[in-house]
Structure 1
Amino acid sequence: MAGEDWAVRAPQTRLERMEAYFSGFGFEPHRHDTYAVGRTLAGVHSFRYRDGMKHSLPGGTIVIHPDELHDGEAGGIDGFHYRILYIEPALLQKALGGTTLPFVPDGISRDPRLYAATQTLMQEMDCVIEPLEEEDAIYDLAQALAAVSGIRKRRRTLNYTAAERAREFIHSALDSVISLDQLEAASGRDRWSLSRDFRALYGTSPYRYLTMRRLDQVRRQLLAGQPLIDAALSLGFADQSHMTRHFKKAYGISPARWLEMLRRC
């Protein structure tokens, strides 16, 4: 299976789903504040993650935890073909009710519960997933991740309500400079407790969360034909290069290459 690299995105819902093929090098080391849950369809998807090199083959499930550094490349001469979804920890928390995020340390699981729970979300990119169907799939995925990672229900010590208030405030001010003072006022929680709880509940810091939500909006604007500089400035980045640096750190490729790959399909 050789040829040019390509990528296809499913219509945007609350989840981002993508299918792609890479003939060799895929992504530079990067990290994002969402879970990346994927499935290799053909070939070998190799990536560096935590304690070493991982090799995903058809039949398993990739689970990259939020804010964990990783890259991606073909593990053989035929390249690799895969599907992946990016899901915000906040969506999983709505199903889990507020707890420490599930963690799959190896980055790959062959647990059949997790494979079954991702079936709906791993459909072809042109398959329409209805809103209620998506709700069910998110719930199933959250429960499977919790089961596979060994999370047990226990007394909660995290202030989920305060962290959720802070998260909602961030969404209301994406084009602004946000301070911890503002998050403290919005959440009713002291800044250090809030920062600790936010990381535990959503997998990343409040600032990284803000940056990633800005990049979500940048990508939507770029797909709508907005120039790079205009998209960057409208979302609070200092300039185009500032946005590009964050884009590459988050996704492992530049905005220009990302657009070019999508336009090939």
Structure 2
Amino acid sequence: MATERRRDWLRYRSSGPGLDWAEAAFVRHRFSPHRHDTYAIGVTTRGVQAFTYRGAARASLVGDAFFLHPDELHDGGPGGEEGLGYRILYIDPALIGAALGGGPLPFVADPVARAREIAAAVDAVFPHPEDPREELREADAICALAAVLAKTAGCPAGPPVAPDPALKQVHDQLTDRCAEGISTSELEGLYGRDRFTLARQFRRIYGVSPSRFVTLRRLDRARRAIADGTPLAEVALAAGFADQAHLTRQFRAAYGTTPGRWRSLLRAA
């Protein structure tokens, strides 16, 4: 652990078109002035992150969220002997605009903010490194992050939108095909709505995002199979999870315990 904290490292992953994420820790490394053509939104996880932005010196502390807008010159590096750590997303502005349903892009005046809601939204976009990529989850997470950005920037809320009649069909199809999965591209083709419109409207009507809805339907199937005595590895694959470890992570997140413990409790009754 001490060695990990004293060396410079970077993990970078392209998650999908217009969305990359990275996490890093630096003790000595500094970035010279540069620009991105994306939003760069992150959370400082260790030490002090010092950077120059819009002509002023800035500092982001542990737990702070930071916002770098497209084409804004900035540098960055450790602000103390401990170094720094951070998680960051690079998001195409077009994705943010689409997630908000059009209109001007949000502009956050203060590049550093202590806001738990923003940190949670950033974390939601980060996949677990062992989980498969899911377009549906990414679209939901970008929608949530865009909404938090708009709120932080003080953008006015849009007018009320009437429920989309296609949502009941989307709901039923996600239920029926939760184990095999359905891509956002397929949903867009079937219903003629973009993924962000579907995600916004679905949450408004059903109270959860489409990807969360699918996960919970998979877990419903998993619980029924566990109760029937099916081995956990078979349960995971039949319910639509990548493997037993994937099932365990999602099961614990939803129910606060593992599938194995759930099975033991059922048997003890």
TM-score by length of 2: 0.53
* Structure 2 gap segments, 5+ residues each: 160-269
Q: Following the alignment from structure 2 to structure 1, what is the Cα–Cα distance between the partners of residues 133 and 154?
A: 29
Cross-structure match for 2:16: 13
**Selected match of 2:106 from 87, 102, 108:** 102
**Selected match of 2:93 from 66, 89, 92:** 89
Q: Following the alignment from structure 2 to structure 1, what is the Cα–Cα distance between the partners of residues 106 and 35?
A: 17
Task: Give 1:75 shift.
Answer: 0.4
Q: Following the alignment from structure 1 to structure 2, what is the Cα–Cα distance between the partners of residues 141 and 74?
A: 26
- For the pair shown, which has the larger CA radius of gyration, 1 or 2? 2
Q: Following the alignment from structure 2 to structure 1, what is the Cα–Cα distance between the partners of residues 78 and 40?
A: 18
Q: Following the alignment from structure 2 to structure 1, what is the Cα–Cα distance between the partners of residues 51 and 130?
A: 27
Q: Following the alignment from structure 2 to structure 1, what is the Cα–Cα distance between the partners of residues 58 and 47?
A: 14
Task: Give 1:123 shift.
Answer: 5.1
Deviation per CA, 1:170-211, whole angstroms, max 9, x where unpaired?
xxxxxxxxxxxxxxxxxxxxxxxxxxxxxxxxxxxxxxxxxx
Q: What are the within-5 Å matches in structure 2 for residues 60-139 of structure 1?
A: 60-122=64-126, 125-139=129-143
Asked whether the 8 Å contact 1:39–1:122 carries over to 2, the reply is: no
* Structure 1 gap segments, 5+ residues each: 156-265
Secondary structure at 2:30 match in 1: strand
Secondary structure at 1:47 match in 2: strand
Are positions 1:55 and 2:59 aligned together? yes
Please give the root-mean-square deviation of Cα atoms over the aligned residues, in Å: 2.1
TM-score by length of 1: 0.54
Deviation per CA, 1:58-87, whole angstroms, max 9, x where unpaired?
212111111111100100112111111100
Q: Following the alignment from structure 1 to structure 2, what is the Cα–Cα distance between the partners of residues 65 and 127?
A: 29
Asked whether the 8 Å contact 2:15–2:133 carries over to 1, the reply is: no
Cross-structure match for 1:172: none
Q: Structure 1: which amino acid aligns with 2:11?
A: V
Asked whether the 8 Å contact 1:10–1:125 carries over to 2, the reply is: no
Q: Following the alignment from structure 1 to structure 2, what is the Cα–Cα distance between the partners of residues 107 and 36?
A: 10
* Identity score, percent: 44
Cross-structure match for 1:257: none
